[in-house]
Structures are given as structure tokens and as C-alpha cells.
Structure 1
Amino acid sequence: MHNLGTVIGFTVRNKLRTKSFVITSLVIALIISVVIHLPLIISLFDNDDPRKVGVIDSGNSEVIAGLDAYFAKQEKPDIVLVKVKDAKDESDFKKALASGDIEGYLEVEEQGNAFPTFTYKSEGSINVGAVGELETALQVVKTDLVLQNAGLTDEQKTLIYAPIEITPVQISAEGGTGSVKNGKTSSEIAMAAGVVYVTIILLFMGIMGSGQLIASEITAEKSSRVMEVLITSVNSLTQMFGKIIGMFIVGITQILLFIAVGVINFLLPHNIDQFKEMDIHFSDIDPVLVVYAIVFYLLGYFMYATLFAAVGSLVSRTEDLGQAVMPLTFLSLGGFYIAIFGLSSANAPLIVAASFIPFFSPYAMILRIGTADPALWEIALSIAILVASIAVFGWLSARIYRTGVLMYGKRPSMKELRKAMRAYKS
């Protein structure tokens, strides 16, 4: 146990002091800060002035008057209609566009007794927001013109225009196992999806980052023959689990740093105000979901970490490491993509099946817990399979590790590895 603590402490101190770790952590922390402040940065360069849009009058003054009235009612309209002075035809509007007097112009085409058709023309890329705003305004104008002779009161018209709001509530038809039991509100659904999304990304980053570091450190020690010295003073299994736990502590330290940076930035006054406007409440996060997220993060990390350590022990040159760990990379990447693309369909057969496959279940089951309502026995079974897989892979990786760390040259074949493992005496 003393040797294990020594290996863990050495691994943690050695990694935390490296320039690459420090620089990478600072760069990611800076990126997190920039991303959180991105809305503020955009607002500083964003022009709040409404877009100036010209209208080619084809004689349909009712439509143009309706558009004017629609935008005039808005407190801060996104669009204002501009009358181009002395405009006689489309060429005059093009000149106004070239001079910057307008950002685009709307061409009205009469369709007899039917409502006119419209073409929006602008220079450069089409502003989708402007087109959408004009479409919304014209839809209102069209409805007004159709209803103006129907004898409706202003109250009846207001009722017609009032938007329909649907309040989503997630329930369980079988009673529920968590917050779903009493129904999830839209805010709780959104926060649960956020927790799932963050957990999936952190798990993938933890597996790929720490796993690669574990494998590369073991391979580097083998290639430099340092392993031959270490193996005489510390048991090989102590080395393996010491490195796995040490790298886990390093990874958690880095994650906690990023969380601290995010929290500090979120707590700044301008960011708090934005969260209030977005109606986001962190109190809506289900604590049970957070517990499950931590459990599946730990289980997923340690399962992959043991496999990365085993693979690293079989490689004698760092140049061959990338090819050796590629199968593990694809497995982790597969679980990540299954979860990411399954965010909107957590009950799909593929997601359900993946939640019981140990290579994918850390991703898939936390997705189901956060966005669906799996039965307690399903969660327990997934955890049991993961724990059993960690025990089996840990035992297998330990035998491979203590045999592979002293095998040099080309990567051993499966036959050679099995023979060496049988010949090894504990």
C-alpha cells in the first residue's frame, strides 16, 4: 500500500509539473472564459440599429401600409421600411443598395385578386433573419387584410393572433424512478439534458486524455529502459494501478479547474443577468442524476484506463502507440457518438442495447437516465455489468501488463502473450 501511494504521488507530481499540462490547462481555461463571454463580446460589436429595407411600390399601398404599421407597433423593430428618394425603377434601388442607404429591398409582384408574391434582394449573402422577419410581418398583414371585412372586433382579432403555448412535462407511464415520477418541467428537462451533455463530453475527454497519457507514459518508460529499474523496486501491478489512479487524480484536478473557471465567469453580473433572461435555474438539476453521472464517469474511466495500460505495456516504441490504441479509441468514440446522436431518442433500441454493453454503457445509460426513465433494475444491471467488466478487464490487463512491460522488440502475438502469461509466476 505504501508503494502504491508512492507511485500515485510521483505520477501526480510529475504530470502536474510538466509544461504541456500547465499550458494546455491555461489554454482550455481561456477558451472556456471566451465561450462564456461570447454573447457579451458579440453584443459589443453588434449594431442595434434596425435594418433599412426599401420597398418597390407596385401600386399595392395596402400591403406597404400594413408593413409600416406592423413595424411601428414594435418597441425595437428589427426592420424599418425606407422610401428611396426619387426612385423610379429597380435601378434606383440598386444604387441605394450600393451606397449603403438600404441593406436590401422588397419587390412586390401583383397576382390579380390573390395576395401578391414577394422577392427580397440584397448584396452578398442573404440575411436569413431579415427574410424571416419580413415573412412574419407579411403573414400578419395578409391576415389583417383578409379579416378587415369580416366584422370582427379588436378583441377577436387579438385572440386570433395570440400564440399557442404548449408546456412540456415528462412523465412516466409506470410510476417513474426519479424526478420523472412527479413529472419533469421544461426547465428540468433542459437542465437534465445539459448535465447529460456535459457528462458525456467530460467522460470522452477523460478517457481519451488520461488513457492516452497512461499508455504513452508506460511505453516511454519501456523504450527508455527505465521500466527495468522500476520493476525491481516496485511490483508491476502496483505500478499499473498507481499510474491509473494518479492520472485519474490529475484528470479530476484539471476538470475541477475548468469547473471553477466556468463558475467564476458565470457569476459575473452581466452573465447572471443573461441567465435570468434565459430562465435557467441550476436548482432544477436533479441531484440523483448528478450522482449517477459521477458513478458512470468513474466506472467508464477505470474500465478504459486498465485497457489503455495493458495496451501501453505491449508497445516498445512510442511511434507504434497510436496504432496500438486505435481499437480502444474507436470503441470510446463509438459510445460518444451513440450518446450524442441519441439525445433526442433515448428509448431507441440501439441506445437501450448500448446501455448494457460495457464499452458503451457509461455513455448510453447516463443518457437514458437523464432524458428518459429507465427502470431501476436496468440501471442496477448496467452498473453490475460495468463493475464485473472492470474486474475482468483489470485482472486480464494486470496479467498482460506484468508480462508485457518486459517484452521488447516487436509487439508480441497473441500466442506469444498467452504463453508468457502462463509462464509468469506471481
Structure 2
Amino acid sequence: MNRLGTVIGFTFKNKVRTKSFVITTLLLALLMTIGIHVPFFIQLFTGGDDAAGNKIGIADGGQTEITQQIEEYVSALPDNEIEFVALQGADTAALNAEAKEQELKGYLTIAPSEGGAFPAVEFVSESGSVPADVQAVLQPALESAKTRFITAGALSDDQIAQLTTPVRLGATSYDQSAGTETPPTDGPESDKFNPMNFITVYVLMTLFFFSAMLTGNMIASEVTSEKSSRVMEILITSVSPLTQMFGKVIGVFLVGLLQIGVFGVTIAINLMLPHNRNVLAGFDLDFSQMPLDVLGYGLIFYILGYFLYALLYAAVGSIVSRTEDLGQAVTPLTMLSLAAFYIGIFSLNSTNSLLMKISSFVPFTSPTTMIARIGLGEIAFWEILLSLVLLIASIFFFGWLSAKIYRTGVLMYGKRPSMKELRKAMKAYKI
């Protein structure tokens, strides 16, 4: 156990101190910082709408009733932050000057039209466009005012409200519509398609993919480099190959956790900045609604999936004598991780499909597809448990197989051995 801890500590310190790790971590953290600030930069360079607050002017042109209807509709909306200001300018130049003086986000002009038609409405701003949050509020308000204008008292307020409320199209299956299917009671909730669930699932799937690729290649390249430089021959005299393999896998795993921690802190600090909180508020994201069950299952599948791939990468790295041949040797594992990622990503809108159900029980793809089913689909607890059992069983089996390959491969030099040659070597070494 002491030797295992020594190998873990040596691997961790050796990787963390390398220039490639430091530069890659800082560069990715910088890219994340820039990415989080993109909405703020866009808002900053499109006219400084944020500095204008939420005040909007109205130049009604004598259409007082329509102006009152728009204000009443908007004020009745939940979490409304828009404040209307009456403008008194006689012409366009005066209205523009008044809007700039009061630092308005923009103003509405309501120009009467001939023939009894609904007046023409235009939004005037410095950028010449309607902000998305303003558009989402003003559009239904104008539709409601137009309906009242056309009906001219023929409909009640409740009828107008029903007329202007968008129709929501639901979805259900044949069995559910007939009342023959009982939703799972032991597993996660079925109605989970909300922004926070989607973001959590997407981040966990992406995290697993990049971890499997980066840390797996890191393990394989370290084993191969030690073998090609003949350092391996010295190491196996003091530490057994099995201890080396598991020490490297756990050490690199800790390196990956450190890198994830750095990224997490970077994201948290940037999101807590005042200007970013104001910008992100427009996306209607509530981080207090973070799905803890999805996050918990995701971390479990992430850790188990990592060890499954890491052990295989270590075994492949042990049978390669030159670093130039490593890329070709790990191609099958790269294809497996790509398949797991793409099946999950392209099936986020159909998590209950047959492909997703089958993939969630395949150990090489379950770390991504099962998370998608838990977070965005309908799944029973026994399915999650079965997938975990199969994944753990696969880790033990491939860990045993990787250990046998590793103990043999680190002593074989020259061209990459075939599976037949590996079996012969295992018998010769009585492994």
C-alpha cells in the first residue's frame, strides 16, 4: 500500500509540474472566461443597452387608450422590470434628445393610421434593434392591445386574455393516453426537460468525453515513454507492474480532478461578477434549481467510466514501444469514447429511443447515455442499478485483463505485439 501511495504521489506531482499541464489548464481557463463574457461584450458593443436600465419611453401620438392597455398588460406580468416613461417631444429630433437625456433603452412611437386600422408601432433605439427581452414583453402586449382595438368592446377581458394566450402543445405516448402505463415511482421524475437539467446533462457528458480522451492519452503516453526510455526496466525492480498501473491510473485521476476544480472555480468567479449576473438573468436560469440527483448520478458514472477507459489506455500503452505508434494503438479506444459522446449528444431530444435504452446498458457508452436518460427522460431505478452493476463488473473484468496485459507488455520491445503473441507471452511468464 505504501508503494502504491508513492506511485500515486509521484505521478500526480510529475504531471502537475509539467509545462504542458500548466499551459493547457491556464489556456482553457482563459477561454472559459472569455466565453462567459461573450454576452456582456455583445451587449457592450451593440449600443450599451445595459447602461440604459429597463426604462422605455412611449410617444403615443394621442393614442392614450392603446398606451394605457400596453402599460397595464406589461405591469401585470410576473417579474416585470420594464418601466414606461411618457415622452412629450414634438418631433423625432426632440424625442431622440429626450430619450438620450433620460438614458432610456428606447421608446415606442404609436402613429395613427387611416381607415380605422390599428396604429403603426415602432421601437426606436440607439442600436436600431429591439432587445430580445423587450421583444418578448412588448410583442404579446401589442397583440393584446390590437385584439381590444379590433373587437371594440365585443369581447370581455377574460375572453381577450384567452384569445391572446398562446396554445401549449403537450405530448404523451399511446400507453399513457390510454391509461395503461404506470410511470416509474422509484426513479427520477419523468418531466425533467428544463434548462438546468439540460445544461447539467450536457456539461457532464462533455466532461466525461474530454476526461476520457485527455487523461487516457496522458496515461498511455506516460507508460509508453517510460518503456521507450528503458526507465521501465528500473521501475519494475522496485515496484510491481500491477502497482505501477493502478498508481498511474489513480494519480492521473487526481490530476484530472484538480483540473476540473480549477475550471469550476473559474466559472463560479466569472458568473458571480455583477455584469455577468445581469446578463445571465435574461436567460431565466436559476442555479438554485440545480438537479442534485442528476449531478450525483453523473459523478458516479463519470468516475466509473473514467476507470474503465483509463485501465484500457494503460494496457494499450504498455504494449507500445515507441511514442510514434501510440496514436494508432489507441484509435479503437478513441472511437469508443467518440461513439459514447455522439450517441448521447445527438439523442438528447429522444432519450427514450431504443438506441439510448440499449446504449445505457453497454459499459462503454453508459457513462453518457444513462446520464441523458436520468436527466431528460423517463427511467426506473432498477435500470440505473443494472447499468451500474454492469459497469462495475466490466471494470473488474477489464481491470483484470489490463493487469495481465500490462505485466506482460512492459517487458516486450520492438513492434507492437499481436493478441496471439501476447497470449504466448502470458503463458511463458505464467501470468
Q: What TM-score does the superposition give when structure 2 sets the normalisation length? A: 0.74
Instruction: Please give the secondary structure, in 2, of the residue aligned with 1:410.
Output: coil
Identify the residue that residue 37 of structure 1 maps to in structure 2.
37
Whether the 8 Å CA contact 2:187–2:379 is kept in 1: the answer is no
- Residues 391-422 of structure 1 show CA distances to partners (whole Å, capped at 9, x for unaligned) of 11111111111111121111112211110011
Q: Pairwise mapping of residues 326-345 of structure 1 onto structure 2 (< 5 A)?
A: 326-345=331-350
Amino acid aligned to 1:176: T
Identify the residue that residue 239 of structure 1 maps to in structure 2.
244
Whether the 8 Å CA contact 1:176–1:373 is kept in 2: the answer is no
Instruction: Please give the secondary structure, in 1, of the residue aligned with 2:39.
Output: helix
Identify the residue that residue 101 of structure 2 maps to in structure 1.
none
Q: Cα offset for 1:276?
A: 4.8
Q: Cα offset for 1:38?
A: 2.1
Identify the residue that residue 21 of structure 2 maps to in structure 1.
21
Whether the 8 Å CA contact 2:198–2:376 is kept in 1: the answer is yes
Measure the CA separation in 2 of the matches of 1:261 and 1:154.
50
Q: Cα offset for 1:76?
A: 8.8
Q: Cα offset for 1:336?
A: 0.5
| 1:301 to 2:297 alignment | no
Amino acid aligned to 1:406: L
Q: Cα offset for 1:174?
A: 3.0
Identify the residue that residue 379 of structure 1 maps to in structure 2.
384
The alpha-carbon distance between structure 1 residues 145 and 257, as it changes in their structure 2 partners (threshold 3 A), is: same
Measure the CA separation in 1 of the matches of 2:276 and 2:328.
44
Whether the 8 Å CA contact 1:310–1:398 is kept in 2: the answer is yes
Q: Pairwise mapping of residues 111-260 of structure 1 onto structure 2 (< 5 A)?
A: 147=151, 152=155, 156-164=159-167, 173-180=182-189, 184=191, 189-260=194-265
Amino acid aligned to 1:285: P
Measure the CA separation in 2 of the matches of 1:21 and 1:224.
21
Measure the CA separation in 2 of the matches of 1:228 and 1:3.
17
The alpha-carbon distance between structure 1 residues 37 and 195, as it changes in their structure 2 partners (threshold 3 A), is: same
Which region of structure 1 is more displaced relative to structure 2, 365-374 or 310-319?
365-374
Unaligned runs of 5+ in 1: 50-66, 78-84, 86-125
Q: Percent sequence identity over matched residues?
A: 51
Measure the CA separation in 2 of the matches of 1:336 and 1:403.
32
Q: Cα offset for 1:143?
A: 6.1
Unaligned runs of 5+ in 2: 53-65, 75-81, 85-91, 93-128
The alpha-carbon distance between structure 1 residues 179 and 327, as it changes in their structure 2 partners (threshold 3 A), is: closer
Amino acid aligned to 2:186: T
The alpha-carbon distance between structure 1 residues 361 and 274, as it changes in their structure 2 partners (threshold 3 A), is: same
Measure the CA separation in 2 of the matches of 1:378 and 1:134.
47
Whether the 8 Å CA contact 2:192–2:376 is kept in 1: the answer is no
The alpha-carbon distance between structure 1 residues 305 and 142, as it changes in their structure 2 partners (threshold 3 A), is: same
Whether the 8 Å CA contact 2:11–2:251 is kept in 1: the answer is yes
Measure the CA separation in 2 of the matches of 1:143 and 1:341.
42
Q: Cα offset for 1:173?
A: 3.2
Q: Pairwise mapping of residues 255-404 of structure 1 onto structure 2 (< 5 A)?
A: 255-277=260-282, 278-286=284-292, 288-404=293-409
Identify the residue that residue 57 of structure 2 maps to in structure 1.
none
Measure the CA separation in 1 of the matches of 2:276 and 2:266.
13
Aligned residues: 393
Measure the CA separation in 2 of the matches of 1:40 and 1:397.
49
Whether the 8 Å CA contact 2:3–2:239 is kept in 1: the answer is yes
Measure the CA separation in 1 of the matches of 2:192 and 2:377.
13
- Residues 265-318 of structure 1 show CA distances to partners (whole Å, capped at 9, x for unaligned) of 2222333444555151324423x3222111111110000001101111111111
- Residues 212-264 of structure 1 show CA distances to partners (whole Å, capped at 9, x for unaligned) of 00011111111111111112221111111111011000001100111111112
Which region of structure 1 is more displaced relative to structure 2, 361-370 or 272-281?
272-281
Measure the CA separation in 2 of the matches of 1:149 and 1:285.
47
Whether the 8 Å CA contact 1:335–1:360 is kept in 2: the answer is yes
Q: What TM-score does the superposition give when structure 1 sets the normalisation length? A: 0.74
Amino acid aligned to 1:218: V
Q: Cα offset for 1:168?
A: 10
Whether the 8 Å CA contact 1:332–1:359 is kept in 2: the answer is yes
Whether the 8 Å CA contact 2:5–2:247 is kept in 1: the answer is yes
Measure the CA separation in 2 of the matches of 1:47 and 1:19.
42
Whether the 8 Å CA contact 1:177–1:373 is kept in 2: the answer is no
Amino acid aligned to 1:311: V
Instruction: Please give the secondary structure, in 1, of the residue aligned with 2:236.
Output: helix
Measure the CA separation in 1 of the matches of 2:373 and 2:414.
45
